[in-house]
Chain A
Amino acid sequence: MSDRMINWYKYAGPQAFYPLAGKMIPWFWVLAAIFGIAGLYVGFLVAPTDAQQGEGYRIIFLHVPASWMSMFIYLVMAFWAGLGLAFNFRLSGMMAQALAPTGAMFAFLSLWTGALWGKPMWGTWWVWDARLTSELILLFLYVGFIALQSAIDDPRRADKAGAILALVGVVNIPIIYFSVKWWNTLHQGSTVNLTKSSMATTMLWGMLLCALACWMYAIAVALMRVRRIMLEREKDTLWVREELAKEAQ
């Protein structure tokens, strides 16, 4: 029993995860580049025009992946935060901290591309409708999480405070996702459905490839950031000293 516990902690510990993440990062960059080039090629060069929206609809290949990632990263961040709160793993707080800036960036991009899409289609950059407002709240939740964590010096306390904020904020995710169903919004309904999709096949492929690219990108960037956080937080441990001794001068 105790053997198993020790093993588990060994693999969940930063000193085991740090080199593993370092090996994985280049692969995720390669995948991100392949999916990104393929997705942009299909979306911007091959896909036909949209009958209703003209060429402006091509913003979908940026807007939908950014919006998906902003929501999904939040869920992953809250999952790690909750795990840290419950089991006190050192890794979980670091993972949550590493994901927040990338999630915030995607939330901002979702709003930015959305505004640039809304202007030609609806005639306005912004409306206070349910979908847009709840996505703006998501951006504020990310910013609040980052600000709260950086305001507390002790990393363990910072993790705990951030985790509570992250978990409370999870309620916003289904609100964003279902807002177009629950309320009458200016925002169009979801484009992809499990049963039937309202898009041409090439458009769908372009969007899925772009989404995969953003996914791989987010993993690569989060791993890079978590490695930096590990070095910083564990700088007084032997493994960080040994790890840095290996680095070229």
Chain B
Amino acid sequence: MNRIIQFIILDILKNQIVLAYTVLLAAFAWSAFGLEDNNAKGTLTLLNIILLIVPLVAILFSTIYIYNSSEFIELLTSQPIQRKKIWWSLFASLAISFVIAFLIGAGIPLFVFADITIAIMMTVIGCIISLVFVAIAFLSSILSRDKAKGIGVSILLWLYFALMFDGLVLFLLFQLSEYPIERMMVGITAASPIDLARILILLHLDVSAMMGYTGAIFKDFFGTTYGLIIAFGLLAMWTAVPFLISLRVFKQKDL
């Protein structure tokens, strides 16, 4: 591990917010399993919490952290260090912090209470969602020098992915209910990492029967190995594309 990453992770630990986030996740997870009488229900409750909180904390904390690191970044750019390395180190540090926080906070209770396949699935997806939103934070913070604007963009993006996107999908479903749009819905979910994650887990929870005909189509597609690979590939794209765009911009940026 390079020295810059070591240094930034230490700084994130000193900041304590990621620690508080770990404790919070653990509290939610343990109480979700403790309060529900069966573990499948507990898993569902936890899923909803995870898909709301993980993206929010990951994107907001990362955005603010990147803005606050501007002095640090400026100091490093005058040193014999590649710009690429500075940006990658910053990303790696935030990503490692959030993945470890998720593993400790939600991963442990999942493996204690849930079925092993579900536990693995949810842990992996929780980590990927953390990465996706850290990457999106990099994009929104590089696009503007104005901190308030950057954080505002991050909040709007979170609102869009976590809340508005579902509304839009529902709206489409009702408006176009006369037409056979079920197959199209599979494509539309690709436009939101949170929905991709949700569907992947719901299908493994065997509650897709409750989702009617659309659920069956989803099962047909995402239930297969082929569909699963595509879904994970899409989630990987959701991490890689925003980060690589931000890296490109950062390499050309005047400091």
Q: Are chains A and B native binding partners rather than an unrelated pairing? A: no
Which residues of B does A touch, CB under 8 Å? none
Which residues of A does B touch, CB under 8 Å? none
